[in-house]
Structure 1
Amino acid sequence: MRQNQSSKNPVYVIGHKNPDTDSICSAIAYSYFKREYDGINAIPCKLGPINRETEFVLNYFNTEEPIYIENVYTQIKDIDYEKPLCANMAWPMLAAWQLIQDSGIRTICVVDDSDKFIGLATLGDLAKVYLSQMNNIEKYSIPLKNAVSVLSGEVINKGNDTLGGNIIVATMSLEEVVKRIKSGDTIIVGDRPHIQKAAIKNNVGTLIIVGGAKPDNETLNLAKEHQVNLISTPYDAFDAVKCISQSIPLSYIMKSADIVSFGEEEYIHEITNTMSKYKYRNFPILDKYGTVLGLISRRHILEYEAKNVILVDHNEFSQTVEGINEAAILEIIDHHRLGGIVTDKPILFKNQPVGCTSTIIYETYQNAKITPPPEIAGIMCAAILSDTLVFKSPTCTPRDKKAALNLAAIAEIDIEDFAGRMFKEGTELLDKSPEKIFFTDFKEFHVDEFKIGVGQINVMSDIGELKNEILSFMKDLKEKGGYDILLLMLTNIIKEGSEILWVSDYKNVIEKAFSIDINENIFYLPGIMSRKNQVIPPIVKAVKLLKK
């Protein structure tokens, strides 16, 4: 059962901040499922660096890391902005006008010979110049090729590369014509050889002969001698005047000062504020080289679609990607407590009391009658083994164990051997700073105004003096981050218990939560291995009792 979805609209499958193995592997496995079953462009994402355990798992099964995503704010590149109309700065005004008429777009991006953006020209700009410059092109340097093209003319003699001066239509007497001519002017004349010769002798810059007439040999030789442009056009004098005005290059018409442009990576919510300060209709979008990518207007930012996301292994604002309020959440697949994310329409929300999100995802494969490839099966199995501590965690359910055994068979791995190697790699702390250790697998929770942070790492033995360094870091973090309670669980897989490092001004809350008396910032809880089931719930309960 496939549904078509444009690659222009990807769906980002995102795990939680400070990702653990389940968060990363669930994102990869569910993205694969959505691509294969629903035919959508699902992209697995991570919100931070992966830990050693997860790195081992991905390397073992030769699987690529998810892409790092900083936020899900909508960017310019995510929306269907206007494709650009581009014209070279030397183009005649007529060509730009025709381009606008054909496209219906009222703004042209003007570029140089290397296609780099240099300015904008609107329909209004073209009309203003055309109406005000019918007879005077003195301040312009019009390329000869522009004029010939617009005049549908033929160059009989080339004296120089440009036209200029006043435009004089030589319909009056010879004496009157001569009296009006200044050096460099452009003369439009019919088949009147005596005026043609007189104009050339008076150093006009360009002589345009209308009605398709051609100069005689004497006139041609004079033009060569005086280096005068000699052009023949089929148009009459009135149309020739219009054509000359329509030959003015865009470089004279465009706006180039104080133009506001944007890049594709910029965020819609930021450019909206900028756009509101200007009266421009369209704003150019440029790449880093100055090449025009398109045009964006206020209409586009009113009509844009938000980024599509699927959240796995979490459902709380504090744990998810920045900008989630602007995104369209399509699904949530999780096994934690409900954390208060609100959506503006119904979504698929799978929240089940199992030990691992990958268990839910594997069952989704089963329901769709899809067998995951060995590498996908392997990473899902690893996620279950990690989250359930090889079935020793109280969060582990028969569903988790059944899923792990089935996935291990597909991936052709021995669970005990693989888990031992995975946990050994994951518990190596020698080259890690206290900060990296603490944030290896960290989650933030809020109980009303209470801000709580709980980290967890697996250890195979006592980490010694490193605990004091971690506590020192936690004390600084508590003050800087405004936390009410900070905990780090040092979970010993072999002893099946956790040593707890804590900092808080609410010692009584922690004592109440675990029914113990605390004398130091470290205490041991035998049998406690699950943050989700054995640590967070009693702390939340104790905080609520405190408030009463």
Structure 2
Amino acid sequence: MKNQLEDRTLIIGHKNPDTDSICSAIAYSYLKNQLGDATKYVPRRAGEVNEETKFVLDYFHQEAPQLQKSVETQVKDAPVLTGTGVNREISLKKAWELMQEKKETTLAVVDENQKLEGVITINDIAKSYMKILDNTILSKAGTSYASIAQTLDGKFVAGDEHGVFSKGKTLIAASGAEHLKESMEEGDLIILGDEVQCQKEAVDHHAACLIICDGAKIGQEIIDQAKAKNIVVIAVEHDLFTTVRLMNQSLPIGYFMTTKDLDTFTLEDDLIEVKEVMAGVRHRDFPVLDAEGKFVGMFSRRCLLNAKGKKIILVDHNEKTQAVDGMEHADLREVIDHHRMGTVETVGPIYYRAQPLGCTATIVYQMFKENGVEIPKEIAGLMCSAIISDTLLFRSPTCTPVDKEVGMELAKIAGIDVNAYANDMFAAGSNLKKMTDEQIFHQDYKQFALGKMTIGIGQISSLNADELVTLEKRLLPYLEGVVAEGEESMIFFMLTNILEESTSLLCVGEGAEALIEKAFALEGKDDVIRRTQMIYLPGVVSRKKQLVPALVVSV
């Protein structure tokens, strides 16, 4: 039986997520789940939550979406063959029957806690017949009498049904009582027919177990003596030949299972790595374990054929360099964005909605209205926060009249005063004293493909001018290290003063300052405020609408 994969779609923003990326993912997930289709929509994030967004989520009592480091296709995205595993004490015959019933060639052997102990394959069972030449194998393997009786379709006549044959050899009493007397020892298991003298001899010499074949009659005296000596007696309808042939099938699989160097997978393993492992070995089935190491099912080569990429919807970006890892193997269904058309490619057509607005949350608001879905107070607060953040409280040149109108409407639903709330929100985001240079750098950082090179643009917006000056001194050495070790040819970092509506732009990388001077026509101008690797840009506050377009034109 195959497991039922949950039909769900992940809604996720860009790496180093800002408030719009997080809040739009949550809001759009809520909207999609209200529209009534069978799919479950789940918000995710592709990076750590920054201080500003933490403030927003706490204010409106919302949990941060779960971190999604990659959307590579994983074992859990394939129809894993489910199963509870089997106990090491079951017989080879029972294992064979289960394999035939389930049409499988491998069984997982687990303990009482579902922890994997080993595997038994159809090949292991075949080898058990060909290699067993030891008449003590039943006792060495600790074969239970219950397993012997079950394998032989036998019935207990005397002795402990829960006992184990743990000492002695297996003998066939086919040559008379005298030969049996010479051959057997105490504790042996004797297979015999209706010869009463052989039965008596076996009991007198304290055999561990008597297997009496052909439905032979067992005298009461034999039964009584067997019970007195705690000898197990099993009556079998099969003839002697069939009984002997079936005996080894009662052996426990624990004696033959493979326990070392097992190839196992977890539900979280990427299929790219799984394929490499499977290509290097000959066996067909692989146990799958959960996070606690418990067995959950088998993964076979045929499972690979039915694996499907994760369904995802991108919000607030459509650049491959900004997207969560593994996106090229995902099943991209939608893009909801307010940026330029980027580098994301798809195999087939998708729903793509990009509007020249200041914030993705504004688009999501419009979609709520278009579908007639009421916006809860908490969701309204998240979307309003996203608009305030992206438009710098309607000051940014990216802000449109629509953004402001929607922002004010959402503020009304959320019950907040936009000015007082924005001051608190920006102050929370500007509290950078306890953050490392790396944390500050990644708080709002994006990569862009610019011609044949890759550049990076980060931004910190603050109400505190002194804090921005301090950041300038702190970040420059760190940015130089990133350029030296990373794939970016240049890095630009915007230290944006919200109140003054200006940016101190840090420029790192060969030709970075010259490119900015060209982009903003600053060459030869003496009134431009410059410091080492910094150019002051009054009136520039938007990465999307001011800095990126200027760089694109200049390359």
Using structure 2 for the length normalisation, give the TM-score. Answer: 0.90
Match of 1:538 in 2: 550
Return closer, same or farther for 1:158/1:431 CA change in 2, 3 Å cut-off: closer
From 262, 267, 287, give the equivalent of 2:265: 262
Check the 8 A contact 1:158/1:230 in 2, yes or no: no
Structure 1 unaligned segments of length 5 or more: list them: 1-5, 544-548
Check the 8 A contact 2:158/2:231 in 1, yes or no: no
Match of 2:504 in 1: 499
Q: For the residues of structure 1 that align with 2:160 and 2:21, how far apart are their CA atoms?
A: 74
Q: Cα deviations across residues 34-81 of structure 1 (Å, max 9, x unaligned)?
A: 111144311111122222221222122222211111111122222211
Letter in 2 for 1:497: S
Letter in 1 for 2:150: S
Quote how far apart the aligned CAs of 1:183 are: 5.4
Q: For the residues of structure 2 that align with 1:420 and 1:115, how far apart are their CA atoms?
A: 54
Check the 8 A contact 1:137/1:245 in 2, yes or no: no
From 312, 316, 327, give the equivalent of 2:315: 312
Is 1:155 matched with 2:154? Answer: no
Match of 1:429 in 2: 432
Q: For the residues of structure 2 that align with 1:99 and 1:147, how far apart are their CA atoms?
A: 17
Q: Cα deviations across residues 17-40 of structure 1 (Å, max 9, x unaligned)?
A: 111111111111111111111443
Match of 1:509 in 2: 515
Match of 1:90 in 2: 89
Structure 2 unaligned segments of length 5 or more: list them: none
Check the 8 A contact 2:51/2:429 in 1, yes or no: yes
Quote how far apart the aligned CAs of 1:403 are: 1.4
Check the 8 A contact 1:210/1:237 in 2, yes or no: yes
Quote how far apart the aligned CAs of 1:465 are: 3.6
Match of 1:80 in 2: 79
Q: For the residues of structure 1 that align with 2:214 and 2:70, how far apart are their CA atoms?
A: 66
From 470, 473, 476, give the equivalent of 1:468: 473
Quote how far apart the aligned CAs of 1:169 are: 4.2
Letter in 2 for 1:471: L
Return closer, same or farther for 1:484/1:119 CA change in 2, 3 Å cut-off: closer
Letter in 2 for 1:522: M
Is 1:404 matched with 2:415? Answer: no
Match of 1:526 in 2: 538
Return closer, same or farther for 1:245/1:163 CA change in 2, 3 Å cut-off: farther
Letter in 2 for 1:89: R
Match of 2:482 in 1: 477
Match of 1:10 in 2: 8
Q: Cα deviations across residues 297-354 of structure 1 (Å, max 9, x unaligned)?
A: 1221232001111110010111110111111111111111111111111111111111
Match of 1:191 in 2: 194
Q: Cα deviations across residues 86-112 of structure 1 (Å, max 9, x unaligned)?
A: 221111222222222222222111223
From 229, 236, 259, give the equivalent of 1:233: 236
Return closer, same or farther for 1:257/1:501 CA change in 2, 3 Å cut-off: closer
Check the 8 A contact 1:8/1:78 in 2, yes or no: no
Quote how far apart the aligned CAs of 1:466 are: 3.4
From 24, 30, 49, give the equivalent of 2:28: 30
Return closer, same or farther for 1:127/1:432 CA change in 2, 3 Å cut-off: closer
Q: For the residues of structure 1 that align with 2:464 and 2:111, how far apart are their CA atoms?
A: 67
SS in 2 for 1:140: helix
Q: For the residues of structure 2 that align with 1:495 and 1:272, how far apart are their CA atoms?
A: 56
SS in 2 for 1:121: strand
Is 1:367 matched with 2:366? Answer: no
Is 1:418 matched with 2:421? Answer: yes
Quote how far apart the aligned CAs of 1:268 are: 1.2
Match of 1:62 in 2: 61
Check the 8 A contact 1:163/1:186 in 2, yes or no: no
CA-atom RMSD in angstroms = 2.5
Return closer, same or farther for 1:426/1:217 CA change in 2, 3 Å cut-off: closer
Q: Cα deviations across residues 216-235 of structure 1 (Å, max 9, x unaligned)?
A: 35434654676643332343
Check the 8 A contact 1:167/1:241 in 2, yes or no: no
Identical-residue share of aligned pairs (%): 38
Is 1:346 matched with 2:349? Answer: yes
Q: For the residues of structure 1 that align with 2:293 and 2:498, how far apart are their CA atoms?
A: 57
SS in 1 for 2:138: coil
| Superposition map of 1:118-137 within 5 A | 118-130=117-129, 137=135
Check the 8 A contact 2:490/2:508 in 1, yes or no: yes
Larger CA deviation: 326-335 vs 415-424? 415-424
Letter in 2 for 1:535: L
Q: For the residues of structure 2 that align with 1:42 and 1:267, how far apart are their CA atoms?
A: 22
SS in 2 for 1:87: coil
Is 1:389 matched with 2:392? Answer: yes
SS in 1 for 2:518: helix
Return closer, same or farther for 1:367/1:207 CA change in 2, 3 Å cut-off: same
Letter in 1 for 2:496: T
Match of 1:3 in 2: none
Check the 8 A contact 1:108/1:120 in 2, yes or no: yes
Larger CA deviation: 172-181 vs 207-216? 172-181
Larger CA deviation: 357-366 vs 109-118? 109-118
Quote how far apart the aligned CAs of 1:131 are: 6.0
Larger CA deviation: 27-36 vs 109-118? 109-118
Q: Cα deviations across residues 190-238 of structure 1 (Å, max 9, x unaligned)?
A: 3321221233345544222234445335434654676643332343333
Check the 8 A contact 1:148/1:155 in 2, yes or no: no
Q: Cα deviations across residues 336-378 of structure 1 (Å, max 9, x unaligned)?
A: 1111111111111111111111111111111111121111111
Q: For the residues of structure 1 that align with 2:404 and 2:61, how far apart are their CA atoms?
A: 24
Q: For the residues of structure 1 that align with 2:67 and 2:160, how far apart are their CA atoms?
A: 61
Quote how far apart the aligned CAs of 1:482 are: 4.0
Q: For the residues of structure 2 that align with 1:474 and 1:268, how far apart are their CA atoms?
A: 35
Return closer, same or farther for 1:539/1:158 CA change in 2, 3 Å cut-off: closer
Return closer, same or farther for 1:428/1:230 CA change in 2, 3 Å cut-off: closer
Match of 1:546 in 2: none
Q: For the residues of structure 2 that align with 1:539 and 1:186, how far apart are their CA atoms?
A: 89
Check the 8 A contact 2:158/2:234 in 1, yes or no: yes
Letter in 1 for 2:30: Y
Check the 8 A contact 1:157/1:220 in 2, yes or no: no
Return closer, same or farther for 1:491/1:288 CA change in 2, 3 Å cut-off: closer
Larger CA deviation: 487-496 vs 153-162? 153-162
Return closer, same or farther for 1:352/1:94 CA change in 2, 3 Å cut-off: same
Check the 8 A contact 2:138/2:165 in 1, yes or no: no
Quote how far apart the aligned CAs of 1:386 are: 1.4
